[in-house]
Structure 1
Amino acid sequence: MNAEIARWIDRDPDANTRQELQALVKAQDTAALESRFKSRLAFGTAGLRGVVGAGPNRMNRLVIQETATGLAHYLKSQNAEAAAQGVVIGYDGRPDSRQFAIDSAAVLTAQGIKVYLTVRVAATPLVAYGVNHLGTAAGIVVTASHNPPQYNGFKVYWGNGAQIISPHDSGIAAEIDRAAQSDLQLMDLEDARQQGLLVWLDDGFYQSYRDTMKANPLLGNHTQPESISLAYTAMHGVGAEMAEALLADAGFSYVYSVAAQREPDGRFPTVNFPNPEEAGAMDRVIEEARAHGATLACANDPDADRFAVAVRQPDGEYQMLTGDQVGVLFGHYLLSRARPQQDLVGTTIVSSSLLQRIAKAAGARYYQTLTGFKWLTNIAMEQQSDAHQFLFAYEEALGYTVGSEVWDKDGLSALVAFAQMTAELATNGKTIWDQLEAIYRQHGLYLNAQRSIALDPAAPPVGDKLRSTPPTEIAGQSIASVDDLKHSRTTFADGRTETIDLPTSDVLIYHLDGGNRVVVRPSGTEPKLKCYYEVVEAFAGNETLASVQQRAQTSMASLIDEHQRSLDN
């Protein structure tokens, strides 16, 4: 390993990370060195993401340069026009992000590939938008999204504007491995600009996204925006300026930003974990909403691709909506507003089944994918047609896309759409809570939950165990059918089988009699099993929402408890 460390130090362009390694070598800190050199950060469909530091198993300038070199070689091997079409690059507000973006641009231009580089921080959806707007061969966002401050990442979009999927992930990874063994070439960015290989994306680019969203018919519901107010936080990320501009364009004048969290700050000083799903992360924006009596308390995550919202209740307190609740509200709302041929909606296998019910009632086209927005948008492009154009997709982890202007989750347009939906309801004397209850009364109350179980890394795969001795019931409920995505097959209780048209994945979905569901899948990044639960309860006559919710929560608690205990046996 000593030779590998010496070679790394010799190649590393960053004095800080060179010194970090030299200090560890001097201290003979074998454990720290092994942690940095035991493997390389794996490049996958989400690109790269990891802790910033020295060595191949960390995010640093050398890893970025090698990754960008691999991407450049792969692009040119796949697309003869890639050099001329170019690559758009944006970055978030973390301390190293701008430098990593500049390094990426220096590598790509040295390979003769034109680069469009944002002049300042940019929300992730702006870069996804920029791929199609500029007609580039790919896009790069330097961001670690909602991960803690010690992280950074390198996210790649393909020329269709969506996140990369197979085989591009493995193809790029192979080229990165080759680049790590080769000399690297970089071009000075001023030289690149003079040669026409670098275009700085200035205010005009940001304005073009703003104008596109303003012209989006799905964001054109200007029903008395003054009837509601909202508090907003960018959570120390990059969303505030554009979020406030889009809301102003839509006529929302009562918008209160959390000043302490408005400006980009990759240290995230006022939140323990900059993810709106984490406990406490929404505290500041809810305080802001309470101070103004606002209708909504809204948040984007630090790269503004996710959207979260808490809604004021009749007693004046605020309650977070789940990602599934926001998703079904959007589905119901957008299907009522879209053109008849714009009716393709989708979600993932672990998100609520309620969207499917809503789509069926509306006569719309519904599709389902594996987890991850890369699947939602790539599959949508495959499935849409002139007669069934894409409208909306969501995943329960707070990701939503409204229309096809951005082929990825976009927390900025979702913010505007949700505010417009709320304002329309308000003018009709209704609240978000009234609308949710109406949806539940029509289709049933769908309650979703997720739990994770730590696994022994040395233990046999849980999925294989469940396949070898399949359960016949879960929590006393008979299993009506099982979707086995590893073998692309649905097996019914009577022995019949059907083929599943989804990519293979180590996932088992148990559909229970009565409509409940359990999804079991191993985590792809750590030794744990993720379990997703869904309980469906119908309303009986004039039964109150509170009583149905209580029954659903009791049923959910029993389902989780008994299923988790069965996995321990």
Structure 2
Amino acid sequence: MAPKDSVNTGNTILDEKIKEWLSWNNDSAAENEIQNYINEGDVSTLSKLFLTRLEFGTAGLRGRMGPGYSQLNDLVIVQTGQGFVKYLLSTISDAKTKGVVLGYDGRHHSKRFAELTAAILVNNGVRVYMYSKVCPTPFVPYGVLKYKCAAGIMVTASHNPKEDNGYKVYWDNGAQIISPHDKGIQKSILANLEPLESSFNTSGINSHQLFSDPLENVMQTYFKTLKDMVLYPETNKNTVLKFTYTAMHGVGYDYMVKAFDAAKFKPFIVVEEQKDPDPDFPTVKFPNPEEGKSALDLSMRTANQNASGIILANDPDADRLACAEKNQKGEWRVFTGNELGALLGWWMLHHHQVRYPDANLSDVFMLASTVSSKILRSMANKEGFTFEETLTGFKWMGNRVTELLRQKKTVLFAFEEAIGFMCSSTVIDKDGISAGVRVAEMASYLETMGISLAGKLDEIYAEYGHHISDNSYYICHEQLVIKSIFERLRNFNGKPNTYPSSILGGKYPIIGIRDLTTGYDNTQPDNKAILPVSKSSQMVTFTFENGLVLTLRTSGTEPKIKYYTELCASPNKQDLTELKDVLNEMVAAIVLEFLQPELNALIARSS
């Protein structure tokens, strides 16, 4: 191996960063890869790997695996673990005795990254509850609450490509971290970059007195709670429906088997090719069931071969759930996250009212993110429970749920359109295992009345009004162009806070404007938004007089301007064709008038 003083790229700062990394790194394969780049004089790649650092944010860490500071590898995980434990101990006084729950998925290096983190924690006197095999992400926040831990860490990149991994952190309330913890951990990481030699030593970790495996105990209590929530066990036991399940090469199979058994269902049909964890995801281009039919192709083939009419699919870390249903023509319908949100919202309310027929619904809550369907709001207006919306992401919903629970409120359900569902407050995060069982039980109950899931969805929209969506995005690599698009909307008449008042020359008036970048909200008495404001990202919501809600926002991880539209019609407007025509007309006008794709050289989403 070449000596470190032979590093000479012509960039002094880069050379120092490479030398530093090589002196701290403990992985010979990673060192060889860097040495090859040095030998080839690949300054461009070396600059990308060493001059920027993967930053810890509200989702923790997520990125490509490989050498350097901008990717995930043993050294970066060690630095993260050292910074995390220092911050934890300085923030929660009894963190050592409370401990930390650790889980990992089936991706390359996930177990290794979890073991490195465990070693750092026990070296600092912190109790560790680490699952002995791959587990669903929701088992980490569940474990935090069960053992009253100080925090939880899940090593996963969820449904990202196979090259990626991640490090997701939960706090002592069982919810994903939000500020100030993300900034505090990042600052602590930067203050503790030099690795201790002991941080790389994972030998004997399983026999350490501070280390224990919570898997068996968590399995017992998690599935008992799930079983106790089953409403119609005899219906489940005798259902004629046949369910097909795919784990999408992830962790879900063993856990969904247990869940079906707890709910008294017969065993499901499994997609054998995707049953076991496989970090290379060989049968899918993107291991994300949210992609729809392209990701569920094998599931549909398996279901067709077995005369099965319903598909349930988890993503690789089993916190998301997708569902498809075959209609009488033999065609498959993949439900959107918003449609499943409507169905599960109805089901969780039905469940609560059957269990507690005399309950006062004024203290019952359901939540959804700002870019998700407003169907729960429409239900709440009629049924009397309380609906709240939060910023995008379960970190916001989870932390709001913990506040409501402290106020002795009942939280039945929360969801986001990206197929994330929290059914009850057993887990303060999205949970694809429990959601899968809820959908199966709902489908079985409806079948006894001759109603399909699609049929029930039609009934929900007939009762509460159609809610139809059109969501997409444009790609823009120029940050200045993105900023100019949003600044134009904020200064539409040449003055601050003068936003568009309509589209199509006044045909569709705008009655509500909420800008979560500046904090302006004309629907509030003082024009100040209630939801948290972030100047670092763009997000504006327009509410139209006819019930259409539009949100324009930027992506935190991709060069995209995303738009989310939903036409929320009143129950007396039942002509779906007419409503779709209105939605299409409005979306076309919004894109043309607000985003101006030709003028701004925006790249349309590829079909």
Q: TM-score, normalised by structure 1?
A: 0.94
Q: Counterpart in 1 of 2:220?
A: 207
Contact 1:229 1:296 in 2 (8 A): yes
Aligned mate of 1:474, from 503, 509, 516? 503
2:81 counterpart of 1:50: no
Aligned mate of 1:459, from 481, 488, 508? 481
Aligned mate of 1:532, from 564, 581, 587? 564
2:356 counterpart of 1:343: no
Q: Supply the AA of the counterpart residue of 1:392.
A: F
Contact 1:138 1:159 in 2 (8 A): yes
Q: Counterpart in 1 of 2:190?
A: 177
Q: Counterpart in 2 of 1:302?
A: 316
Alpha-carbon distance between aligned partners in 1 of 2:326 and 2:558, rounded to the nearest angstrom? 37
Contact 1:223 1:427 in 2 (8 A): no
Give CA deviations for 1:52-92 in whole Å, capped at 9, x if unaligned.
10001001111111001111000000011001111111100
Contact 1:223 1:420 in 2 (8 A): no
Q: Counterpart in 2 of 1:554?
A: 581
Alpha-carbon distance between aligned partners in 1 of 2:31 and 2:241, rounded to the nearest angstrom? 54
Distance of aligned partners of 1:31 and 1:227 in 2 relative to their CA distance in 1, 3 Å threshold: same
Q: Counterpart in 2 of 1:500?
A: 529
Q: Counterpart in 1 of 2:545?
A: 513
Distance of aligned partners of 1:177 and 1:394 in 2 relative to their CA distance in 1, 3 Å threshold: same
Mean CA deviation greater in 128-137 or 255-264: 128-137
Q: Supply the AA of the counterpart residue of 1:459.
A: V
Contact 2:79 2:194 in 1 (8 A): no
Aligned mate of 2:94, from 68, 77, 81? 81
Alpha-carbon distance between aligned partners in 2 of 1:496 and 1:83, rounded to the nearest angstrom? 46
Aligned mate of 2:303, from 277, 280, 289? 289
Q: Secondary structure at the match of 1:458?
A: helix
Mean CA deviation greater in 4-13 or 552-561: 552-561
- How far is the alpha carbon of 1:486 from its aligned partner? 2.6
Distance of aligned partners of 1:254 and 1:211 in 2 relative to their CA distance in 1, 3 Å threshold: closer
- How far is the alpha carbon of 1:202 from its aligned partner? 4.2
Q: Supply the AA of the counterpart residue of 1:533.
A: T
Contact 1:128 1:161 in 2 (8 A): yes
- How far is the alpha carbon of 1:289 from its aligned partner? 1.6
Q: Secondary structure at the match of 1:533?
A: strand
- How far is the alpha carbon of 1:369 from its aligned partner? 0.2
Contact 2:420 2:431 in 1 (8 A): yes
- How far is the alpha carbon of 1:478 from its aligned partner? 0.7
- How far is the alpha carbon of 1:150 from its aligned partner? 0.4
Q: Supply the AA of the counterpart residue of 2:291.
A: E
Distance of aligned partners of 1:538 and 1:402 in 2 relative to their CA distance in 1, 3 Å threshold: same
Q: Supply the AA of the counterpart residue of 2:452.
A: T
2:231 counterpart of 1:220: yes
- How far is the alpha carbon of 1:445 from its aligned partner? 0.9
Contact 1:243 1:412 in 2 (8 A): yes
Contact 1:109 1:186 in 2 (8 A): no
Mean CA deviation greater in 446-455 or 146-155: 446-455
Distance of aligned partners of 1:473 and 1:559 in 2 relative to their CA distance in 1, 3 Å threshold: same
- How far is the alpha carbon of 1:538 from its aligned partner? 4.7
The correspondence of residues 145-544 of structure 1 with structure 2, limited to 5 A, is: 145-181=158-194, 183=196, 185-186=198-199, 188-189=201-202, 195-215=208-228, 217=229, 219-225=230-236, 226-253=239-266, 255-279=268-292, 280-338=294-352, 339=356, 340=359, 343-384=364-405, 388-455=409-476, 456-459=478-481, 461=483, 462-469=485-492, 470-475=499-504, 476-491=507-522, 498-505=527-534, 506-538=538-570
- How far is the alpha carbon of 1:45 from its aligned partner? 0.8
Aligned mate of 1:13, from 15, 22, 26? 26
Alpha-carbon distance between aligned partners in 1 of 2:69 and 2:231, rounded to the nearest angstrom? 48
- How far is the alpha carbon of 1:223 from its aligned partner? 4.9
Q: TM-score, normalised by structure 2?
A: 0.89
Q: Secondary structure at the match of 1:121?
A: coil
Alpha-carbon distance between aligned partners in 1 of 2:172 and 2:434, rounded to the nearest angstrom? 22
Q: Secondary structure at the match of 1:59?
A: coil
Contact 1:65 1:184 in 2 (8 A): no
Give CA deviations for 1:28-70 in whole Å, capped at 9, x if unaligned.
1111111111211111110000001000100111111100111
Alpha-carbon distance between aligned partners in 2 of 1:114 and 1:40, rounded to the nearest angstrom? 29
Distance of aligned partners of 1:260 and 1:195 in 2 relative to their CA distance in 1, 3 Å threshold: closer
Alpha-carbon distance between aligned partners in 2 of 1:220 and 1:104, rounded to the nearest angstrom? 40
Gaps of 5+ in 2: 1-13, 493-498, 600-607
Give CA deviations for 1:320-342 in whole Å, capped at 9, x if unaligned.
00101110111111112213257
2:75 counterpart of 1:62: yes
Contact 1:118 1:201 in 2 (8 A): yes
Give CA deviations for 1:477-505 in whole Å, capped at 9, x if unaligned.
1111111223333226xx97543321003
Alpha-carbon distance between aligned partners in 1 of 2:369 and 2:380, rounded to the nearest angstrom? 14
Distance of aligned partners of 1:229 and 1:193 in 2 relative to their CA distance in 1, 3 Å threshold: closer
Q: Secondary structure at the match of 1:481?
A: strand
* Aligned-pair Cα RMSD in Å: 1.9
Contact 1:83 1:113 in 2 (8 A): yes
Mean CA deviation greater in 144-153 or 553-562: 553-562
Q: Supply the AA of the counterpart residue of 1:220.
A: L
2:565 counterpart of 1:563: no
Q: Counterpart in 1 of 2:136?
A: 123
Give CA deviations for 1:94-137 in whole Å, capped at 9, x if unaligned.
12101111111111111111111111111101111111112211
Q: Secondary structure at the match of 2:480?
A: coil
